[in-house]
Amino acid sequence: MVKVAHVQLSSCCGCLISLTDTYEKLLEILNSIELVYCQTLIDVREIKECDVALVEGSVCLEDHHALEVAKEVREKAKIVVALGACAAFGGLTRYCKGNQLPKPVNSSFSPLTEVIKVDYSIPGCPPSPEAIYSFIKALLNNDEAYLKPYKLLAEMPEVCGCDLLYKVVNKELCMGCGTCSASCPTRAITMVDGRPVVDPVLCIKCGLCSFQCPRILYPSLLEEIE
């Protein structure tokens, strides 16, 4: 049995909800794993040794307990997965600036990927249940080819809607398919003259648009159709 832990740092628990939102597929997942730690679902107080830790949320640097938890996850898990925008890229918490009660000093939040070495990053706010399911299946089957984009993403903690400009439109690569616009959870991207226009006020830095853009990454396993 593969031992899995779910760890929540500064996050909304939406990523875990998305995982459970796989309905009957969740039972299939639970049949092939042993959930050893998950504060929302089971009564275990200490993070256990595990094969995979799914971590959601970013790390509040003023909260030393959070930093210790992050380090502990790295020590106890063979594979650490940054699940969702906050753990992977900071997400909404990139905009935190403190001065709120009862902890006005809690102002600095870093994605988990900037605090410890992370093996895979899954973008999205939240990542879709279907994607989390496929990811876990691939992890259980050791399907490295499928997991590769998530592995690459773990090296890139800084994402933004601006990626579409920097990496695609500015580089003569955008052909105007509109995938970025469909994937955006806040409708920050509209297609104008066949190109994405990103409203920076709406962008929550979840990494979805640049992950889904077929001109940034195109896994060759997609060539197989049946």
Residue type, 115: V
225 lies in the binding site for other proteins (CB under 8 A)? yes
Q: Of the candidates 124, 159, 160, 163, which one interacts with other proteins according to CB under 8 A?
A: 124
CA-only gyration radius of the chain, Å: 18
Site size for other proteins (CB under 8 A): 50
Q: Which of residues 179-198 bind other proteins (CB under 8 A)?
A: 179, 181-185, 191, 193-194
**Pick from 158, 147, 92, 164: which is nearest to 125 by CA?**
92
The CA-atom distances, in angstroms, between 99 and each of 9, 11, 59, 105, 108 are 20, 18, 17, 6, 11
98 lies in the binding site for other proteins (CB under 8 A)? no
**Gap between the Cα atoms of 159 and 153, Å rounded:** 10
**Gap between the Cα atoms of 120 and 125, Å rounded:** 16
State the nearest-atom distance from the C-beta of 224 to other proteins, in Å: 9
State the nearest-atom distance from the C-beta of 57 to other proteins, in Å: 18
Q: 147 — phi, psi (to 5°)? A: -80, -15
State the nearest-atom distance from the C-beta of 126 to other proteins, in Å: 8
Binding site for other proteins (CB under 8 A): 18, 21, 122-124, 127-131, 134, 145-146, 148-149, 152, 167, 171-179, 181-185, 191, 193-194, 208-209, 211-212, 214-223, 225-226
